[in-house]
Amino acid sequence: MLALNDITVITLEHAISAPFCTRQLADLGARVIKIERPNVGDFARKYDERIDGMSSHFIWANRSKESLTLDIKTQEAQDILKQLVLNADVLVQNLAPGSASRLGLSFEALSALNPKIIVCDISGYGDDAEHPGPYHDKKAYDLLIQSESGFLSITGTEYESAKAGCSISDIAAGMYAYSNILAALIERGKTGKGKRIDISMLESMTEWMGFPLYYTFRGNSAPQRTGASHATIYPYGPFLTGDNKQVILGVQNEREWQDFCKIVLNDPALSELPEFINNTLRSKNRENLKSIILDVFSHLTQKEVIQRLELAKIANANVNKMEDVWHHPQLDARRRWTVVNTPVGKVPTLKPVGLTNDEDYRISSVPYLSEHTHLILSELGYSETVIQEFIEKAII
């Protein structure tokens, strides 16, 4: 049994945050009807053409959905949307600030039609009429929120800040939307009533910034930008080996530090030096310690360093590139890859995280634009003649 197989989700979504949320719901069996602009669709469809002409972003975030094209600015399309809302469980939207309310898609308007509906609004800075805040109407994209949340200030090197290589602000907002929707469905099972969920990308990323925020509590200095190394724990990060490869390692406590010196560096006395006696001092004197570690590693291959780290039970990792992840032995051994149908053929896709039994999730096709429009309108009782008229008027 799929956990959400009796749940219908209507989504007016684009880019990543809302699509990533609703894809999780679709994975659990929800029927997700994705409303897109006629002839244009979700603009993420055109972010790139890396997968045989299709966008990598779109294929990642849009499997197992149905594509319905509607020009929601027209009265006819709004009538269709209201019919869908009558029998829907959830509506998700991440339109521009204020757009949903102007289209009559506020929680107040929709709950008047369907008191059980859960409405999840995703925006950059939150959409609270009582406390709108000065940023209420600002547009927000992933990189902008990385900057506003302070993430850029602690990420990169001492010379230059750097953004995350994936859309972490979008992903954070999408996952908080997903978890809040699941909680709202449980709550509705107890109360019989729907509710509104107001997801802010800024608040989502600020929650993820908890450690550096508390680190700077009461005016303390912020964590230094240290590239791929940890800002406050050392040694913890990448180190070059003698065969010009890299190893990532992390020493988390004093027992590990002693074993690292004894087994990996073959220098047990190093662990007792006053300048390295605890993590605070090791981090403070990281440049001196780094030179010692690199000197030892320069006489060893990557494989030999990893063997020593494993013997000492020190956490370590390869510095993988994307092609390495596609063939990661752990993912292969756990059989975490499957395939998904797309308009350009079958593409590998990762199974839903946390689910191991095939009967617990659903992976169906990434839709082509307007693929399910005819089917959905027929289900609502529209005749072939009316549907053709909608096509001619560019309503669908």
Residues 6 or more apart from 254 whose CB is under 8 A from it? 278
- Rounded to the nearest 10 degrees, the angle between the axes of helix 168-191 and helix 17-27 is 50
Report the side by side order of strands in the sheet with 65-69: 65-69, 31-36, 8-12, 90-93, 118-123, 196-200
Q: What is the mean pLDDT of each run of 10 residues along the chain (396 residues)?
A: 96 97 98 97 96 96 98 95 96 92 93 97 91 90 96 93 95 98 98 97 97 93 89 95 95 96 97 96 96 98 96 95 95 97 97 95 97 97 96 95
Tokens standing for residue 240: 């070059």
CA distances (Å), origin 333, targets 59, 77, 316, 327, 349: 24, 48, 19, 10, 15
95 in Cβ contact with 60 (< 8 Å): no
Greatest Cα pair distance in the chain: 86
Say how far apart CA 41 and CA 377 lie, in whole Å: 18
CA distance 295 to 97: 55
As a whole number of angstroms, the distance between CA 95 and CA 119 comes to 13
DSSP-derived secondary structure letter, 340: E
Tokens of 354: 């946390």
**What is the pLDDT, as a whole number, of residue 263?**
98
Distance CA 259, CA 268 (A): 8
Using the structure block, give the residue that is written with the tokens 């107040």. 108
Please tell me whether residue 96 adopts helix, strand or coil conformation: coil
Q: Determine the Cα–Cα distance for residues 83 and 93; give it in Å rounded to an integer.
A: 17
pLDDT for the residue numbered 1: 83
Phi, psi of 357 (to 5 degrees): -95, 130
Phi-psi region of 39 (alpha: psi -120 to 50; beta: other; left: phi over 0): left
Q: What are phi and psi of 3, to 5 degrees?
A: -60, -35
What's residue 129's pLDDT?
78
Global confidence as pTM: 0.93
Q: Which residue has the tokens 């749940």?
A: 7
112 token code pair: 């008047």
Within 10 A of 354 (CB to CB), how many other CB atoms are there? 7
Which domains does the chain carry?
8-208+333-392 (3.40.50.10540), 236-319 (3.30.1540.10)
CA distance 289 to 282: 7
